[in-house]
Structure 1
Amino acid sequence: MRPILDPLYRACGWLAGLFMIALLITILLSIFGRLAGFYLRGLDAYAGYCMGASSFLALGYAFGHGDHIRVTLVIQRLTGTTRRGFELFCLLLALAMSGAFAFYSCKMVWWSYKFHDISQSNDATPLWIPQLGMAIGTAVFALSILDELILVLRGKALEAQAAELARTE
């Protein structure tokens, strides 16, 4: 699975970066448009869509690289089976929450598509299009948590990981 998951996480990270660049471009266009006296319809809405897509698409990539905030203050004080149990509990809880978030995000995209829901701002964009970034991002995030859970269940060393996390915090 590693040859499939790592490129998926990397692709989501690149997409998040591209949406961040698109966000910058939309903001700069808005600023220069005001200075030059012209207005592009829906630019503010597209900036919001880009920000949302960038944020959600980066979740799986960031989790896979250990960049999410973790409570190492508690984890580093635990040892042995207690530490492993706590880590497994946290991953199971995160998987349940992210899985529910991914499920309802995908359900929201489906209903927006089915009912032809459009944006209320000037752009009148079909909402399922910008919502795809959130649905894909939350699904990949849930997948990355499941991936980590499987690695921990297979015996991934938590000590080296916790030492690295404590060093970076």
Structure 2
Amino acid sequence: MRALLDRLYMAAGYAAAFFMVATLLMVVAGIADRALALGWRGTDMYAGYAMAACGFLALAHTFKRGEHIRVSLLLQAASPRMQRAMEIWSLLAASLLAAALSFYSIKLTWQSWEFQDISTGNDATPLWIPQVAMAVGAVVLLIALLDELLLELRGKRVLRASAEQLRNE
């Protein structure tokens, strides 16, 4: 199960990287279109869709590698028992918020598909298409948070320190 979950988080990270490159390509295409009057429609909208997909799909991958911002000032001052209680509370609260985000993202995507909602931009993209990435990213984040919560409850959680701390001056 651990290998499957790790592959899920890695796949989400690769998908986020793909959409980051897609954002770059859409921005470059938009610049080329303006400069050369190529008539490409919707490059700004597609860059936005790709950026949103990148952000949501990267959430779980980044979280599992300890790269999310953590305010650890209170944790460092607390006893080990209190630290564990605070970690459990934080993971539980984050899981509940991610569950709500997942539920409403899926509901929004479904409604956009059901109502055949399209973008108001000149690209007229069916909105459920870019919304799928948001819903998938939210669900994978929920899975990652529940994974960490279960590891914490079982006493097997290993906190990864961000490499950014090592580069601090």
Question: TM-score, normalization: structure 2?
Answer: 0.93
Residue 73 of structure 2 is matched in structure 1 by 73
1:110 paired with 2:110, answer yes
SS in 2 for 1:69: coil
Question: Are residues 167 and 21 of structure 1, via their aligned partners in 2, closer, same or farther at CA, if it must alter by over 3 Å?
Answer: closer
Residue 143 of structure 1 is matched in structure 2 by 143
Residue 30 of structure 2 is matched in structure 1 by 30
Paired AA for residue 5 in structure 2 = L
Identity over aligned pairs, percent: 46
What's the CA shift for 1:107? 0.6
Paired AA for residue 44 in structure 1 = D
Question: Are residues 51 and 151 of structure 1, via their aligned partners in 2, closer, same or farther at CA, if it must alter by over 3 Å?
Answer: same
Unmatched segments (≥5 aa) in structure 2 = none
SS in 1 for 2:17: helix
Residue 93 of structure 2 is matched in structure 1 by 93
Q: Which moved more, 1:29-38 or 1:43-52?
A: 29-38
Q: Distance in 1 between matches of 2:2 and 2:13?
A: 16
Q: Distance in 2 between matches of 1:19 and 1:157?
A: 30
What's the CA shift for 1:166? 9.5
Q: Distance in 2 between matches of 1:50 and 1:167?
A: 26
Q: Distance in 2 between matches of 1:118 and 1:22?
A: 21
Q: Distance in 1 between matches of 2:56 and 2:7?
A: 17
Q: Distance in 2 between matches of 1:28 and 1:133?
A: 22
What's the CA shift for 1:120? 0.7
Q: Residue 42 of structure 1 contacts residue 121 of structure 1 at CA under 8 Å; is this kept in 2? A: yes
What's the CA shift for 1:165? 4.9
Q: Distance in 1 between matches of 2:73 and 2:164?
A: 12
1:66-88 deviations in Å (ceiling 9; x for gaps): 11111111111112211111110
Unmatched segments (≥5 aa) in structure 1 = none
1:81-123 deviations in Å (ceiling 9; x for gaps): 1111111001110001111001100010011111111111111
1:46 paired with 2:54, answer no
Paired AA for residue 151 in structure 1 = L
Measured on the aligned residues, the alpha-carbon RMSD in Å equals 1.6
Q: Distance in 2 between matches of 1:8 and 1:105?
A: 19
What's the CA shift for 1:156? 2.6
What's the CA shift for 1:35? 1.4
Q: Residue 30 of structure 1 contacts residue 39 of structure 1 at CA under 8 Å; is this kept in 2? A: no
